[in-house]
Every structure is written in structure tokens, then in C-alpha cells.
Chain A
Amino acid sequence: MVRKLFLILAAAASALAINGAAWADFTVLVPSSSEGDGLRAAADDYSKMKGTKVEIVQAPYANVFEQGANAGATKSGVFDIILMDDPWIPFFAENGHLEDLTPYFKKAGLEGPDTDFLSKSLAICRNPYNTGPYVCLPYVGNAQMFFYDAAKYKEAGVDAPKTWDDVLKASQALTKDGGGRYFGYVFRGGQGNPVVADFMPIFWSYGADMFNADRTKVTIDTPEGAAAMKTFMALRDVSPKGIESYNANEVGTALAAGTAASSINWPNWVATFEDPSQSKMVGKISYSPIPAGTKAGSSEIGHWTMGIMSASKNKQEAFDFMLWATSPEQIKISAERGNPPVRTSVFTDPELTKQEKFRHYPVLMEAIQASTPRPRHPKWPEIENAFGIELSKVVAGTITPEEALKNSQAAVEEITGLK
């Protein structure tokens, strides 16, 4: 019995010999999610068309940053292009992991990316923000939108929520009537990235920001910050128990299952809300830009952008592919595959906007144009973690809102060395 077992195992292990290393002209790191799937499909088209072999390397979303940082720090060149979430750009750029794209544009006879790209989409691709050289190109155009059940909101006496006060008014009424099983508002309260992502738009809507304009002072513990925190706490009080562990998925599910009336979320959920096998709310969810506080509402931008690793040995090939993949035709195909575009021409393409599944495009474009990027700092992951801990504590009620602002201010000062 044991001998047989070992024979089987040995046979299996010998199959290892067929470990054929795939030969490729260049390699792209993507997250294993809809952006990654989209770029993979585009890479297949490119291979067929140009006879160039593009290899796609993928990591779970939670690990893409780590893969990129590892490869960058060890100059390993295991991949040439990285598809990045935009808040990581300063980290990769300022630690010398990303290639400056200027010479490549020049070689192609271009000044830089064309003006059909949304200006906010291009701004994040430059480091420093909006002024420095291009270090990447935008590929997927995400920005948060406000999702709400218009019928329920109407019941609660709010027609179209324009401000956070409207949202609060409707949510308080709805949660009160919900008897603990239906809620007016729901948000991502999970420690770290989730809670920060859903707090920032409120923060900005009250005129607060993490740093002053020239990044020389931390400005969390300010009157504006306190106003935002007050609304955030009021929203927490109308949200379900347990949001302390919620991420985008739980928030989206609550809306799709019809157990919550409104939330901030990413546009990818539009398709899910309209799919009867995944949603009870088909045709019932409305979208709007982020509500206003004391200032105009601003959503958080969450683009996926492509950059070339400094350690790459196939930079020109990589650049050619990036230019091709972000061309108007390709961005349109990418949109059809389910990833929001980054170009005005695609956002306003009547062939798309007349389709039901793209009916959120005008709102999304407006949201992107009114968006704010997460603070551009190379230590953003660490800042986000520290801020996320304090926000998680205040959501869980273990510290007061004042303490949260004070602690966050101190923690971010400590990390950035700005005192």
C-alpha cells in the first residue's frame, strides 16, 4: 500500500520535468480581478495581431502591491509592466521602481498622452502629481459613486440626495423603520484600506485634506476634519452592526440583496446590480456623484494604471503595448469587457451610452472629473494603515472622534516626519 502510494507520488513528481519556462517578449503583472481579466484579453489580441508574445502574470488583489515592491526592491525584472492601483504610484515612482516615460513619448514623436484622456486620469500618472513626468498611463477609470435606492429615499422624504445632510435624513428614517434588519446607509468599515477609502470622500466634502497644498503640514485634526468626522459618526449610527469588518463586497451585497438603501461604492457594482442572478434590485438602484458637505462633494479616484518597471529589459516593447492598449479603440473594447474607460470619446460614445449597462457613464465621468486622489505620498501604504487603525477604532467606539483625529494627526506626522 505504502509502496504503491510512493510510486504514484514519484510518477507525479516526475511530471515536474515538464516545467517548460514560457518564453515571452514581455510580461505584465495584473491583479486577478476584472481589470486583470480585461488586460489579459487585450494582450491576447495583441499577440495575435503583432505576433508578439505577451505573458500575463497575476496576483490576488491583496498582493499585487507586494509583488511589485518585491520585484522593484530586488530589481528582479520578472515582469516589465505593472498594472497599479493609483495610490501606489508615488511609492513606486519615488523609490526608483518606475521608468520615466518622457523619452519613449519623444521617440514615438509625441508630446505626451493625447487630450482625449480625462485630465484627472492623466494627473495621477505624473509624479509629482499633475506636474512631474509621466510614469504610467491610465487604463481603467474608476472613481467612487453614490448608490441609492431612489424609491426608498422618496419614502423617507428625500427625492435626490445632494448633500450628506439629505443622506443622513433619509438614512435615519429608513434605519429607524428597518427594525434592525434594514438600514439607510452602509459603508466599508474594515480596518485599513476599506475604512479609509469610504471616509476620504466625506473628509474632502467638508473641505478637509490630509496635507496642506505643498505637503509640508499634516492637516487632519482641523475644524474641517472634525465636521467630516461628525457626519461620519452620524452615518455609522444608522449603519448595520458589524460594518467594522465590511469591505466593498459586503457593502455591494447589502444593496444588491436589498437590505440597505445607500452607500458609496465602485462603478463595477453597476453590472452586478443589474444582473438578476446576483441582485434583487435590478433597475432600482440610482447613481449620483458624491453628496456635498460644506463644500462640493468629491469622490475618491481609484484608477488602474500601467507603468514600466525600471529593471525591465524590454522597455520599448512594453511601451508600444501600453500605447496600443490605451488607444481609443482599445479603451472602448476594454469598456465593453466591463472596465470603465479613461477617455472622453469612450464615455460619450453613443454606441455605448445607449446601452442599459452603461447608463451610469455620464455620472461616472462627472465623478472622475470631480474626484480627488488619495494623498500623494510615497509612504501612503503606511499612512493608510495608521489612519485606518484610528478610523476602525472610532467606528468600533473604542475611542472618541476627537481622539481619533488627534491620534491620526500624530501618527501621520510621525510617519512622514512633518511636525
Chain B
Amino acid sequence: MLKPGKGIPAASLRLGGALEHWTERHLRYLMLAPTMLILLALTIFPSLYMFYAAVHKISPNPDLPWQFVGPGNFARLLTDAQFHAALRNTAVFTIVSVSVEFVLGLGLALLLDRFIRRLTFLKTVLMIPMMLPPIAVAITWKIIYEPQFGVLNEIMFRLGLPLQAWAGDVNLAMFSIIVADVWQWTPFIFLLMLAGLASLPVEPYEAAALDGASSWRQFWDLTLPFLKPVIAIALLLRVMDALRLFDLVFILTGGGPADRTKVLSLYIYQVAYRFADPGYAAAISLFVLFVTIVLSTWFMKRMRLAD
């Protein structure tokens, strides 16, 4: 890039030398600059807009002025039952799906690592779900869950179990969404855990084996502590994505039945576009952003990830 190449005449080489010197001195800034500039450009405008919109009542009519309402939009958050449902559903979804994905992903990685390490092929097969378009995943699960024709109820029927309405059942709808999400994203945790396991040092285990420590003890005393940073990153990324869940709910349930699967992204989408109330949508978004940042800062401090 900035290195003088073959076809450059000597005179410009000297000039190039000066340039190179300058580049060299400011390299720390130059290398960081493009990323910083792109991210600033792409986040500053949306953030400013969001803060500004959040304190206004914005009419869908472009000819009407924005009406300043101060904290009015935030006050609405306190009494809005749909927002409370969305908040609760998002919390349930995030906590349950990420924990299940973590346990399954780690368990599977440990099993594969220990029993069939050489079958890379098998590992890749197990990773396929996370590569599929979430929209296609949602539609596939919709067919599987279909209460009258779906394959899942056929299996229940064959096993002599009671047929269920799955995504159409008040009490099972969230569960159905979580299962589909676990299907798609356990592979992500699995992949990170495999990578973590692949970089464990050998010596401590040899020492532990000499001391006669059981596999279980080795897992608790060695593997888990070594994996801690990986686990932290994996959980952080998954939680960030779980908080913004959209596609699955949009296709599978549309937020129903009885508002039991309405999540924050879906609600923000509805408020901003269906109800054409971007001011209130911005207020909800700011709240979500605030929670996300507080949670992850706390988490990263605790896990000492910032460095």
C-alpha cells in the first residue's frame, strides 16, 4: 500500500521516503483512523437523531413540526403494558436461551473434543445451523410446529403423547421460539468452546493426572478456569444478539398469542413503523441501549475483558 514498489522512479522514492517516515510516526493513528471514522459516521448521526427524537412527539405528517414533549416519552414507559410484556419476554428469552445454548454448546464441545477429536467433518456439520438465514430457519420451524400437519405433532402422536399447539399455545409459544433459537445458535457457542479447548495447555493436565485428580475435578479446576475468557466472550456476544431477536418472532408468532412472545425489537419495530411514532420508539430504543451497555460494561469489568 504505502510501500514504494518496483516501478517507482528514484526521485519520488525520496519523497516516498518522507511520506513513509511520516506514516511510520503516525502509524498508530493511521491504522485506527478508518475504523474510527466509519463507526463515528455510522453511529453519531443515528445516536444524535435518537436522543433528539426521544424528547419529541413526531407526527407521520412531514409538514407538521416536531413537538417537544421533554421526558414524556420516557414517562410512557412506566405505564405501557405492551412494553412491560416485551421487557419481560425479552428477559426470559435471553436468560433461558443463552443458558441452554451455553450448557449444550459446552457439553457438546467437551464430548467431541474428548471422544472424536479428529472428525473435523462432523464438527462442521454440527455448525451448519448458525450459517442459515434466520428467516429460513423461522419458516422451517413454523412448518415443523404446525399443529395439524407438522412433523413434531406426528412424532408426539406416534409416541402416544398429547398433541400440542406449540407456537400457537400460550404457554408453549416462548418455549417454541427458544427451541428454534437454541437450534440455530448452540453451534456458535459450540464452535467457540471447541476453539477454546483446542488452545488449552497440556502440562497442567499431565500434572493433575499424576496427582490422580478425577476428570470431574480436572474439569472444574483446570478446564473451566482456562475457558473463562472464551466463555465470557461467547456469552457476551450471544446476549447482545438475543436482546435484539427479531426474525424468529416476526415469522413464527408475530408476538402472540396474548402478547407472550412480543420482544423488544418487535415492539420497537411496530411502534416506529406500524404506529408511526418514532419519538416513542426512540425512547424505548434508548432504554434498551442503556440496559445493554450497563450490563455489558459490568460483565466485561467482572470478566476483565476490556483488555
Contact = CB atoms under 8 A, between A and B. Distances in A.
Instruction: Answer yes or no: A and B touching, Cβ < 8 Å.
Output: yes
Interface of A: 62, 65-66, 69-70, 72-75, 91, 94-97, 180-181, 189-192, 194-195, 240-246, 250, 253-254, 257, 259, 379, 381-382, 385, 388-389, 392-393, 395-399
A393 B148 contact: no
A259 B149 CA distance: 9
B256 A66 contact: no
Given A95-B59, A96-B61, A259-B148, A73 B276 contact: yes
Contacts of B167: 242, 245
B9 interface: no
Given A96-B61, A189-B257, A65 B274 contact: yes
B28 to A, nearest CB: 25
Contacts of B278: 73
B146 A191 contact: no
Q: Considering residues B63, B169, B256, B259, which has the most beta carbons from chain A within 10 angstroms of its beta carbon?
A: B256
A43 to B, nearest CB: 26
A394 to B, nearest CB: 9
A245 B60 contact: no
A410 to B, nearest CB: 11
Contacts of B163: 180, 241
A191 B148 contact: no
27 contacts: A62-B250, A65-B273, A69-B276, A73-B60, A73-B61, A73-B278, A95-B276, A189-B168, A190-B254, A191-B256, A241-B164, A242-B164, A244-B168, A244-B173, A244-B257, A245-B168, A245-B254, A259-B148, A379-B275, A382-B275, A385-B274, A385-B275, A388-B256, A389-B259, A392-B257, A393-B259, A397-B170
Contact of A392 (B148, B258, B275): B258
Nearest to A69: B276
Contacts of B274: 65-66, 381-382, 385
B32 to A, nearest CB: 21
Interface in B270-293: 270, 273-276, 278
A254 B62 contact: no
Contact of A242 (B61, B168, B255, B270): B168
Which label, helix, strand, loop or mixed, suits the secondary structure of the B interface?
loop
B93 interface: no
Given A241-B168, A244-B170, A382-B274, A396 B62 contact: no
A246 B147 CA distance: 10
B227 to A, nearest CB: 27
Say which size band chain B's interface belongs to: 20 to 34
Nearest to A241: B165
Contacts of B82: 389
Contact of B169 (A95, A180, A241, A257): A241
Nearest to B165: A242
Contacts of A245: 165, 167-168, 173, 252-254, 256-257
A320 B173 CA distance: 49
A168 B256 CA distance: 26
A242 B254 contact: no
Given A69-B273, A75-B62, A253-B149, A392 B259 contact: yes
Contacts of B170: 244, 396-398
Contacts of B166: 242
Contacts of A242: 146-148, 164-169
Contacts of B275: 379, 381-382, 385
A73 B62 CA distance: 5
A243 B270 CA distance: 23
B148 A240 contact: yes
Contacts of A240: 147-148
Interface in B144-159: 146-149
A189 B168 CA distance: 9
A379 B270 CA distance: 13
B3 to A, nearest CB: 17
Contacts of A398: 170, 258
A73 B276 CA distance: 9
Nearest to A378: B60
Contacts of A243: 168
Contacts of B253: 190-191, 245
Contacts of A75: 62
Contacts of A396: 169-170, 256-258
A395 B255 CA distance: 14
B216 to A, nearest CB: 40
Contact of A192 (B147, B254, B273, B276): B254
A190 B62 CA distance: 33
A389 B273 contact: no
A194 B82 CA distance: 19
B270 A385 contact: yes
Interface in B103-154: 146-149
B258 A192 contact: no
A54 to B, nearest CB: 26
B62 A91 contact: no
B273 A70 contact: yes
B299 to A, nearest CB: 32
Which 7 A-B residue pairings sit nearest by Cβ, starting from the closest?
A191-B256, A242-B165, A242-B147, A245-B168, A242-B168, A244-B257, A66-B273
A379 B169 CA distance: 29
A170 to B, nearest CB: 19
Contact of A95 (B60, B147, B250): B60
A96 B256 contact: no
A389 B258 CA distance: 6
Contacts of A392: 256-259
